[in-house]
Structure formats: structure tokens, C-alpha cells
Chain A
């Protein structure tokens, strides 16, 4: 229990750090971007929004810095992220809300698949050292992990989208359709998700497989695995209950680290495929200099990552009894 509390405390601390970072970054930029912003958006947006911009860049000299900070924190807590500059006059919250399901679907499914498949292949590869899978998988995956995500996406577009014309390669759905829970719509969504999903899967699966395999190999050399053999247990029971269960533990914490890469992969893949998720939206916001939207998305991504890490920590506590006693 103390363990969970400690992790939750860490979660809050990091959240605070991200929020504060978000606050200070625009103020640290060289030059005076606020003025450029004013010039660009004046006349296109309302006075309220201009004021928001000023607040973001700290050009609002009516308040002192601590006061601005307090104001900012208050806004965050109430979910008031201001109005989007590009999608004016929609509030940022609404814009963000629209993008979330797309990313959740694409990335969520892919990550789970990558973890399950990657771990599985890693286990089998280590169990049958020197077998076919073990000779092929590691070198292939090493090389695969070095390929930039977006390039894989582009190659997919080239091969499967343009040349072979098997699957659509842009957008989340057919633009002419309107969303409805009909089989044809769902089928359409799935079709559009296949290529980006596959690209994301390929790029993320490599790390997990490799670390799982390496962990398994080290674990298999441990005495308790030999002991399990001595007891006459069936091979697959040894593989799963004794070897894999121990080998996966460092992987769970590694899962937290690798989330960062999943996020970057997702952003790039969404960009390449014009997939209307959170990542795509972030890049659009950057391109359009829609700072309120950008800040909100950054916070959203950070929170998502933190939550995932917290979940991984809880999973570790469940699977590894040693962590339950606080150190």
C-alpha cells in the first residue's frame, strides 16, 4: 500500500513539473514571440483570445509572475485551456476531445499487441536458443529498431497504399461518410487504421522482443529454473511460471521507459498517415502556431504517459511480491 502511495506521490510531482514546464517554456524563448503573435492574430480572433495569448507568453504585465502562475494553475484545474486559435472559436477542450478516441484506438490496440507479441516472441526465442526464431529475430529487430518510424510509414504508404492499392493510407475514415455505428463505418475505420497500426507495431515491437529475450536468457541461467527441471515439471510450465514470470519484471519497468518511444512513434505515424489523433493535432497546432492547443495537448500526452507508468508500477507490485514491502 505504501508502495502505491509513493508512486502516486511521484505521479503528482511529475505532473506538477510538466505543468510548470509548460508555463515557463514560452516565457523563456528568445526574442519576444508575443509581439509576433499579436501581429499575426490581431483582427482574426477576439479580444478574449488575444488576452489568453498574452497570458501564455507572459506579456500580460498586469499581473506579477507568481500571480500569473497561480492563475494558470487555476485554469488547468478547472479544465479551462482557452480557445483554439486555429479552430477558432472552438474551445481547446472540445478540439482535444475529438482527437482522443482516434489515438486511443490506434495506439491502444497497437501497444497492447506489440507488448503481447513482442514478449511472446522474446520468450520463445530465448527458450529455444539457437533455434530458427532466435537466429532470425534478434538481428532483424536490432536493425528494425534503428529505422525511423515515419520512414516505415512512408514505405508502407508507398508499397501497400500506392503501388498495391490494398489499403487506404490517409485519414481515419472516408471523408465523405458521417460517423455512425454501422458495420460499414466500422469496417472503414478499421481499414484506415490497418496501415498506420502495422507501421507502429513494427517499430515498437523490436525493443520489447529484444529486452524480453535478453532477460529470459539471463533468467534461464538461474538456479531456480534448473531446480524446476529437477522437479520434473513440464517444460511449458517452467518456461512460463518460473522463467518468464521473473524475466518479465524488469520489462514492466522498461515498459514505462519505452512509452516515450511509443508516443513519439504514434505522433509521427499519425502525421504521415494524416490520422486525426492527438499526435497529428499536436503537429498541426505547431504548424499553425496555435499555442493554447499545443499546450493542452502536451499536458494531455504527459498525463497519459504518467497514468500508464503508474499502471505498470501497480502491475509490478502485483507480480513481484518483493516490491510490496517498501524499501
Chain B
């Protein structure tokens, strides 16, 4: 349903702040999402996962821009689409949930008004229909529809986040992209939100791309996992396979950093060094300052191992 090929996103260089080269935040990333799948994208801060997400949803703002690649969604290349046609697809087939609902919801408009905005932008004009549909989605996530009149600051953090998810489901889209929706919540709320998302997915059947830095959280729910590092895809494959047998040294390093609760005590292995400065891209594998010497000069080609790549 979604096929991303060779997507590259660059932040233009600025003169006043000293950077001379454009920063390539996302470098030649390709992956696909099938209908109803739950795909997790993990990586550390600054690896480009949020940028990737916004690029797929065509929500980048200057100075970031897509410089190469395509995003095929239900047969259409979103990168090439014009504003009006893109708007028609937005929200109806593809919706977005962001990290902090406090920032993602307009503070001066009531929740209901924001729902109505989206509904009316896509042709629903009858006030009754708007009210009904808004109440319906709120009930789906377990919020009393009376809160349609509330303002975002009047709701609790968890409620706000669920309201955002409800808003994303207004048109029962095919794909919902979520950018760290649980990061602003405490662990208990996180868990309940994730369970709810999974349930909704089962009921309604939409696909989810879930971006997070919390690998352990997402791995419980995802079908497939994408690991990003320094703007590139380090590894991709079914969640279980990656946990059982990580192929890329970075994924291996990540997994080895989590101690097991049961089992013998093992000294933990960290990953030395730091991610590269993305405005000065090293030759060869990006991981090379930290990894094996034989990757230093040339990037090892992606290898396919059964259903996954590394």
C-alpha cells in the first residue's frame, strides 16, 4: 500500500550559522508498508526518523526538502502531487498523530471545532453529520463526547493524546502515521494507549507506522521493525527476527544494551563513539567510526536474508 523508494531529505545549508553543506537527514531510505500492518521505526534522537515521517506525509517545511526518491501511496506518488490533490488525500486516506497533543492541538479552538475543521475540509457540510461523526470517534477511544466543547488545556495528557488519535480516525484512513505519541506520557498511560491503538487497529484495519526511540515498547506491538541510524536504514525485518537475530552491528549493539531480567548477569556492551555529523557524511558505512574496520572505506551493500534486509 505504501512504497517508499530512495527517499532523501536535506536541510539546506545556511550562511549565517556556519554550516556550509546541506545536512542530509534522510539518505536513500526505502521500505514498504502493507495494509493493516504495524510497522515500528526505531532509532536514537537525531537519526532522522521524525524527518522521515514528515517527509512521507509531505509535511516538511523549509529549509527541509525532499531531494530524491518517491513515496507511492495507493498507486500515486505523493511527492509529485500538487497541493489540491494532495489535500484531498490528506486525512481521508493518510492521517498523522504527533508527539505532544498539547502542542499539536490548537490551544484556542475547542476539540470539537478542530474535528469539524477536518470534516468540513473534506466535504461534510451537515452540522448534524459533523457532530455525530465527532462523537462517534471520541467514543471509540473512550472519551465522553461532552468533551467536544472542551479546550485542549482542559483535558488530561492521556485524554488529549487519545483525542488526537480519535481525530486521526475521523475518515478511517488506510494509514496512520504516529510520531512518538507515547513519549509525553507516563508508563501506565503509555501502556494503555498502545493497547488501545492495537485494538482499534484490529477493529478498523488501518496500517500504522509508529516512530519511537523506545524499542522495547514498540516491539510488543509491531509486526515489522525498521532500525534507523544517522539517516539511513540500518536494518529492516519482522520484529521477532530482529530481536532473535540482529544482523547489523548497530541493532546488535542496541539489543545488547538491554539487560535481561531473568538469566545470568552479563557485562553490558555499549556502543563507543557518537553518530556522525550529518553535514559531513563519511565514506562507507555510516556506522564505521564505531564498527568494524572493514566497513570503513565502502558501504557494505544491503544484504537480503530471507524476508529482511540489513
Q: Which residues of A contact B (CB under 8 A)?
A: 129-130, 220-224, 226-235, 237, 241-242, 245-246, 249, 319-322
Determine how close the nearest CB of chain B comes to the CB of A88; give it in whole angstroms.
55
Q: B91 contacts A223, CB within 8 Å?
A: no
Of the candidates B83, B92, B108, B122, the one whose C-beta lies within 8 Å of that of A320 is B108
The 3 closest A-B pairs by CB, nearest first: A232-B90, A223-B103, A232-B87
For the complex, give the distance between the alpha carbons of A320 and B57 in Å.
30
A to B contact number (C-beta, < 8 Å): 83
Chain B residues, Cβ within 8 Å of A230: 57, 59, 90-91, 95-96
Chain A residues, Cβ within 8 Å of B91: 230-232
Chain B residues, Cβ within 8 Å of A322: 107-108, 151, 153
Choose among B86, B103, B106, B118 the residue with the greatest number of A CB atoms under 10 Å from its CB. B106
Q: B107 contacts A234, CB within 8 Å?
A: no
Q: Tally chain B residues at the interface, Cβ within 8 Å.
A: 32
Q: Please give me the residue from chain A that is nearest to B120 by CB atom.
A: A233
Chain A residues, Cβ within 8 Å of B108: 245-246, 249, 319-322
Interface residue? B144 (CB, 8 A): no
Chain A residues, Cβ within 8 Å of B153: 321-322
Contact with A along B55-74 (1 / 0, CB 8 A): 00101011000000000000
Of the candidates B90, B99, B100, B151, the one whose C-beta lies within 8 Å of that of A321 is B151
Q: Please give me the residue from chain B that is nearest to A234 by CB atom.
A: B121
Q: B59 contacts A226, CB within 8 Å?
A: yes
Of the candidates B59, B107, B109, the one whose C-beta lies within 8 Å of that of A229 is B59
Choose among A226, A232, A320 the residue with the greatest number of B CB atoms under 10 Å from its CB. A232
Choose among B57, B92, B96, B104 the residue with the greatest number of A CB atoms under 10 Å from its CB. B104
Contact with A along B77-93 (1 / 0, CB 8 A): 00000010011111110
Query: What are 18 A-B pairs at a CB distance below 8 A?
Result: A222-B103, A223-B104, A224-B105, A226-B61, A226-B98, A227-B98, A229-B59, A229-B90, A230-B96, A231-B90, A232-B86, A232-B91, A233-B118, A233-B121, A235-B83, A237-B117, A321-B108, A322-B151
Q: A223-B98, A241-B109 are in contact. Are A232 and B104 (CB under 8 A)?
A: no
For the complex, give the distance between the alpha carbons of A226 and B105 in Å.
10
Q: Please give me the residue from chain B that is nearest to A242 by CB atom.
A: B106
Choose among B86, B87, B108, B153 the residue with the greatest number of A CB atoms under 10 Å from its CB. B108
Q: A129 contacts B62, CB within 8 Å?
A: yes
Of the candidates A221, A224, A231, A235, the one whose C-beta lies within 8 Å of that of B118 is A231
